[in-house]
Amino acid sequence: MAIYNAEAIVIRVRDFDEADKVAVLLTREEGKVQAIARGARRSRNRYAAAMQLFTQVKVQLYHGRSMDTLSQAEITESFRHLREDLVRMAYGAYVCELMDEMIRERQRHESPYLLLLTTLHLLNELDMEPEPIRRAYELKLFSMLGFRPSLEECVACGGSVGTGPQVRFAPVLGGVLCPTCPSEGEVVHRLARGTLETMKRLLDGDIRKAHMIKITGEMAVELDRVMTDYVGHRMERKLKSKEFLDSLK
């Protein structure tokens, strides 16, 4: 059996049999993998602390046919504030579940791993506003996976969206519409110009500075409406963590 080492983040974990756990790991080297941690349900087991949601770990795994087997795990970062603060925990759970839902196993791209790791570090900072960090994460992740929204030009014709105070955004089509293109029967949201400019900053700016972007009042409502549809349309099911996050707001 082949053994390999990886840097990983635990993005989902569930009990398996009487004593074991199955963890979904987003690794830097191998993409998303599933691994069984023998005995991890027992509190004194050497994997018990490492195999918890959000934890960044260094692992050694045996390749298996349907699932890999954990043979070593060492915690690099446990993201304490994501465990102690309910709101931050909800954000952390959301970004992990979104990642899990959006990427398939064994796709070897390092960038989703690095984006998630940076995002968890930012959400773990108590003086940073989590909402803009989450929005930047959503936009950047979708962009990375081939669903970059068109925010500069009309998604239908490539023309200018004009300079009016409002623009139309069609989540299913994946971007803004110019004043003349029809919406093809799809749901269209009206966005204030300022909301569109904020989306551009979240999409292309440095995520480490996203917490400084103010998202309040009407802009928060507009962004939530658009992003809920934009993300939801590309997902096969509703995310449990999103319902939880919404319930806390």
61 vs 156 by CB, closer to Zn ion: 156
Region 21-80 residues binding Zn ion, contact defined as CB under 5 A: none
- Token digits for 103? 């990427």
The reply on whether position 176 binds Zn ion by CB under 5 A is no
The reply on whether position 159 binds Zn ion by CB under 5 A is yes
Residue of 116, 53, 49, 120 lying closest to 88 (CA atoms): 120
The reply on whether position 155 binds Zn ion by CB under 5 A is no
Near Zn ion by CB under 5 A: residue from 50, 115, 139, 181: 181
Please, what is the minimum distance in Å from the beta carbon of residue 185 to Zn ion?
A: 15
Please, what is the minimum distance in Å from the beta carbon of residue 181 to Zn ion?
A: 3
Q: Give the Cα separation of 69 and 27 in Å (integer).
A: 14
Instruction: Provide the 10 A C-beta neighbour count for residue 104.
Output: 7
The reply on whether position 136 binds Zn ion by CB under 5 A is no
The reply on whether position 154 binds Zn ion by CB under 5 A is yes
As a residue count, the chain comes to 249
The reply on whether position 172 binds Zn ion by CB under 5 A is no
Please, what is the minimum distance in Å from the beta carbon of residue 186 to Zn ion?
A: 13
The reply on whether position 123 binds Zn ion by CB under 5 A is no
Contact assessment for residue 117 and residue 187, using Cβ atoms and an 8 Å cutoff: no
178 vs 220 by CB, closer to Zn ion: 178
The reply on whether position 213 binds Zn ion by CB under 5 A is no
The reply on whether position 188 binds Zn ion by CB under 5 A is no
- Token digits for 87? 């709101």
Instruction: Provide the 10 A C-beta neighbour count for residue 158.
Output: 11
Strand order, beta sheet including 189-192? 175-177, 166-170, 189-192
DSSP 18-51: TTEEEEEEEETTTEEEEEEETTTTSTTSTTTTTS
Query: For Zn ion, how many residues bind (rule: CB under 5 A)?
Result: 6
* DSSP code at position 172: T
Please, what is the minimum distance in Å from the beta carbon of residue 5 to Zn ion?
A: 50
Place of tokens 């691994």: 35
Please, what is the minimum distance in Å from the beta carbon of residue 138 to Zn ion?
A: 25
Please, what is the minimum distance in Å from the beta carbon of residue 122 to Zn ion?
A: 36
13: helix, strand or coil: strand
Residues in contact with Zn ion by the rule CB under 5 A: 154, 156-157, 159, 178, 181
